Amino acid sequence: MGSPLGAYSTEIYLRGLDGVRPDLPTDPNRLEDAARAVLAEEPFDYVAGGAGTGATMRANRAAFDRYGLVPRMLRNNTSRDWSTTLLGTAMPAPLLLAPIGVQSLLHAEGELAVARAAAELGVPMVLSTAASHSTEAVAAASGEGPRWYQLYWPTDDDVTISLVGRARAADFAVLVVTLDTWTLGWRPQDLDRGYLPFLRGIGTAIPFSDPAFRAALARPPEDDLAAAVRYRQRIFTGTARSWDRLALLRRHWDGPIVLKGIQHVDDALAALDAGMDGVIVSNHGGRQVDRAVGSLQAAVRLRHPHRRGRRGCAGARRRRGTAGASVRLRAGARWAGRGAARPALRARGAGPHTGPRRVHRPRRAACDEGGRRGPRVRRVEG
């Protein structure tokens, strides 16, 4: 086993002996402040904002506040091994980088930098269909790193088949199908500025580089951006999807398939009945539906299929504090997906030396804090 994940803080303190301080704040709240100070308002708010009144974002946080960690003492945690294998993907801890689109809003390198950092840490990255770089370019940056592919499911079947075929050819191991974004949520911070990156050709690299997508256009996106944007909008919105249509994905993807955005037990069971391999409990970080139930709350309800021996899995919203992953895992999730966007936004906005690694290592370290047989999670009464 390599060095404990929590050794990261020791590294920081040792550098402190030489007078070297972290170039980015380690407190996520201060990181956000630092990013706000240097980023333009549009990209900052696009990433930081949520749907409607922000009630779902608040519900996500409140759901975590109902739990607390109860540390246990004098147990031999010296040697800790968080490594696990999920749906055939080996990982050093049960953490994945959640799919985050349009990362070039924050830095031109976007998903390429995240792919490199994830590969270096051995943490699986989930690549969004709304990425700023092509599937193949991200796969090349990821190298031997573990990677999953998140599909925004187009209504044009030829494009769907082509997108998943490209992902499979580029060694993405698991298909994550996001179900909660057939249309964008009502996002006042973006609406008030009339700001939607996709209409400007940002976050469109995957469809724009897709042969089936390009074949549907009279002229390529490089020559007629407006037409390409219109076609993209047309096929990535709409609700013409039903449980039986999952068979199409199953036919064209020979690896595990996971449905993202599940909140209700019946939908989780329907997913399993449809032959899916798992679900991700998520409300899209509160960006889609205002007044949705907090994801952790939903995840706790969804433990039941998992208890019955069915393959359930539950991600939930990342917390501001570093204990969020621990809470989720101890509350019954088999693994925790963590959104790279908000912390990465802060990191990239906050200073020049801003590798995504800086953001993800602390989370991995925090996961290690309690040790595997460490704290139990308890519901806080009242």
Nearest residue to 202 (alpha-carbon basis) of 219, 225, 172 = 225
Query: Residue 242 class from Cβ within 10 Å (0-12 exposed, 13-18 middle, 19+ buried)?
Result: exposed
- Letters for 215-254 (x = contact with ligand FMN by CB under 6 A, - = none) are ----------------------------------------
- Distance separating alpha carbons of residues 87 and 176, to the nearest angstrom: 12
Report residue 315 as tokens.
């991600």
Q: For the residues of 269-332, what is the DSSP string, one character each?
A: HHHHHTT--EEEE--GGGTS-TTPPPHHHHHHHTHHHHHTTS------PPPSSTTHHHHHHHTT
Among residues 104, 142, 282, 322, the one that binds ligand FMN under rule CB under 6 A = 282
- Distance separating alpha carbons of residues 164 and 328, to the nearest angstrom: 30
Of 126 and 170, which CB lies nearer to ligand FMN in the complex structure? 126
CB of 151 to ligand FMN, least distance (A): 9
339 binds ligand FMN (CB under 6 A): yes
Which range of residues in 8-16, 20-28, 94-102, 190-198 is near ligand FMN by CB under 6 A?
A: 94-102
Q: At what angle do helices 356-369 and 110-121 cross, to 10 degrees?
A: 40
- Distance separating alpha carbons of residues 116 and 42, to the nearest angstrom: 26
Of 264 and 308, which CB lies nearer to ligand FMN in the complex structure? 264
Of 80 and 98, which CB lies nearer to ligand FMN in the complex structure? 98
Of 100 and 367, which CB lies nearer to ligand FMN in the complex structure? 100
139 HSE (CA, 13 A, CB side): 14
Question: Among residue numbers 69 through 88, which ones bind ligand FMN (CB under 6 A)?
Answer: none
CB of 136 to ligand FMN, least distance (A): 18
- Distance separating alpha carbons of residues 135 and 170, to the nearest angstrom: 7
205 binds ligand FMN (CB under 6 A): no
CB of 287 to ligand FMN, least distance (A): 6
For the chain, list the strands marked E by DSSP: 67-70, 84-86, 89-91, 95-98, 125-128, 147-151, 175-178, 257-262, 278-281, 336-339, 376-379
The type of residue at 112 is L
Which range of residues in 79-87, 95-103, 137-145, 244-252 is near ligand FMN by CB under 6 A?
A: 95-103
99 binds ligand FMN (CB under 6 A): yes
CA distance to 21, 115, 167, 347, 374, per residue, from 82 (Å): 28, 21, 28, 26, 12
Question: Among residue numbers 123 through 152, which ones bind ligand FMN (CB under 6 A)?
Answer: 128, 130, 150
Of 129 and 371, which CB lies nearer to ligand FMN in the complex structure? 129
Among residues 80, 306, 317, 348, the one that binds ligand FMN under rule CB under 6 A = 317
Catalytic residue among 133, 284, 306, 360: 284
Which range of residues in 13-21, 62-70, 162-170, 336-344 is near ligand FMN by CB under 6 A?
A: 336-344
Question: Among residue numbers 44 through 63, which ones bind ligand FMN (CB under 6 A)?
Answer: 47
- Residue with CB nearest ligand FMN? 339
- Distance separating alpha carbons of residues 266 and 314, to the nearest angstrom: 15
166 binds ligand FMN (CB under 6 A): no
348 binds ligand FMN (CB under 6 A): no
Among residues 98, 235, 259, 296, the one that binds ligand FMN under rule CB under 6 A = 98
3-state secondary structure of 68: strand
* 360 in active site: no
Phi, psi (5° rounding) for residue 356? -55, -25
For 152-218, list the strands marked E by DSSP: 175-178
Size of the site for ligand FMN (CB under 6 A): 19
The footprint of ligand FMN (CB under 6 A) covers 47, 98-101, 128, 130, 150, 178, 260, 282, 284-285, 287, 317-318, 339, 341-342
Catalytic residues: 284
